Amino acid sequence: MRTDFSRVRHRRLWPRVVGFAVMLSWALTLDWAASGMAADVVRTIDGDRLSVTVTGSSREGLTIEDREGERQVPVAELVDVQYEGEPQELRTARNLLARGRSADALAELDKIDQDSLANLTDLMAAEQAYIKAAAKAESALLDSGNLAQLRDAGREVLAFATAHPDSFRYYRSRELVGDLLAASGDTAKAMDYYKELAAGPPSMKIRAATARGRMLLTTGDHAGAVTAFEQAEAVGATDPASVEQKRLASLGKARALGLLGKGSEAIAVVNTLLNGANPEDVELLGPAYNAMGDAHRAAGRLQDAVLAYLTVDLVYNANPAAHAEALAKLAEVWDEIGQPERSREARDSLQASYPETSWAKAGS
């Protein structure tokens, strides 16, 4: 009987081949990681955390590189970015800003030492400048009666956009300047910036129409606000960023409907939003329950209004702007239904937690 030595050799060599292939794969992985790839983290709107190297930034998004090569993440899909080697204070400030804690974000940025600031890469420097400008803007918008603060914040945001015209934060900077101008009463100039925002991707067009609606609400043009919000809802885009922005437009429409005395319509809009909402989406749910409270209050259903505002106070209180508004309105409604002690508790909580907001100053 003859032995097939070729099969014997193949059987003996096969484990060595497999082992070599595994070792080669490990070596390539380690070499890729050691070369500096996969150092940055990009978060996208669909929940992905991409371990990549960010190689560039433009108004349209970030250019990234990973094993699959170089590609762009569109600005509409971007949530945030963390750069390898950035100061911890910068990372913390970014997280605080995302949670609406703008004053704390500014305090954290102040902790970055001069040596660290001097060694920031161009991308990190742009990010530091944006977070500082955006935090100043959001702090000013919480105290919208302080014109000097609004103007100072506007100059800071414009300085960021001038120094970093290719930042993926560009469109957000246009929106912030528009919001600051609207809050200071210069609605004509605000419209110019919202038009620049509308020149971006579809989700930015929706943001621009929604921003116009918010501005019209503050000027008392509630019918015009409804029209602006409906224009935002009508934009023909179904990507995740656009869908998210349309929800915020619907929320604005509910507020405007309530102010027009159309409480039932407003409540129906809010209920639709609540039924389809992520239970952890505090950016939507806090304002949504405030809008629900406003609609009930306008219809004279004060007990229902209290329940809606209390839901913000006790459950969806991670959004500072929405929480401050809910506390201020709770203080008013408790008084209206003859509960002065509870009204005082809500007012004290507002003063203790959000003393710099226009809500607190109006009630002091």
**Which CATH number is 285's domain given?**
1.25.40.10
CA gap 80, 98 in Å, rounded: 9
Q: Coil, strand, or helix at residue 258?
A: helix
Extract the tokens encoding 196. Answer: 């620049």
Phi-psi region of 267 (alpha: psi -120 to 50; beta: other; left: phi over 0): alpha
Contact 353, 327 (CB under 8 A): yes
DSSP symbol at 40:
E
- The answer to whether position 29 is within a domain reads no
CA gap 108, 106 in Å, rounded: 5
User: Which residues does residue 58 pair with via DSSP β-bridges, in sequence order?
Assistant: 61
CA gap 168, 277 in Å, rounded: 27
Backbone angles phi, psi at 78, to 5 degrees: -85, 135
CA gap 315, 298 in Å, rounded: 23
Of all helices (H) and strands (E), which one includes residue 29? helix 5-34
Say whether pLDDT at 77 is over 70.
Answer: yes
Mean pLDDT estimate for the chain: 89
- 321-345: average pLDDT: 96
Q: What's residue 12's pLDDT?
A: 45
- The answer to whether position 217 is within a domain reads no
Cβ atoms < 10 Å from Cβ of 116: 17
Extract the tokens encoding 26. Answer: 């490990």
Say whether pLDDT at 13 is over 80.
Answer: no
Contact 337, 306 (CB under 8 A): yes
DSSP symbol at 63:
E
User: Which residues does residue 40 pair with via DSSP β-bridges, in sequence order?
Assistant: 52
Count the domains in the chain: 1
- The answer to whether position 330 is within a domain reads yes
Extract the tokens encoding 256. Answer: 């405007």
Helices 170-183 and 122-142 pack at an angle, to 10 degrees, of 20
- The answer to whether position 320 is within a domain reads yes
% the chain with pLDDT above 90 = 79
Residue 145 — pLDDT band, cuts 50, 70, 90? confident
- The answer to whether position 80 is within a domain reads no
- Residue 201 CA: distances (Å) to CA of 82, 101, 206, 237, 242: 23, 28, 9, 10, 9
Q: Which residues contact 141 (CB under 8 A, 6 or more apart)?
A: 150, 153, 179, 180, 183, 321
The predicted-structure confidence for 157-211, as pLDDT tens digits, reads as follows 999 999 999 999 999 999 999 999 999 999 999 999 999 999 999 999 999 999 9
CA gap 319, 329 in Å, rounded: 16
Q: Give, in degrees to the nearest 5, the angle at Cα 325 between 300 and 183.
A: 110
At residue 269, what is the residue type? V
CA gap 40, 36 in Å, rounded: 9
Extract the tokens encoding 212. Answer: 């116009």
Specify the pTM.
Answer: 0.84
CA gap 325, 297 in Å, rounded: 14
Give the domain extent around 355.
267-364
- The answer to whether position 197 is within a domain reads no
Say whether pLDDT at 341 is over 60.
Answer: yes
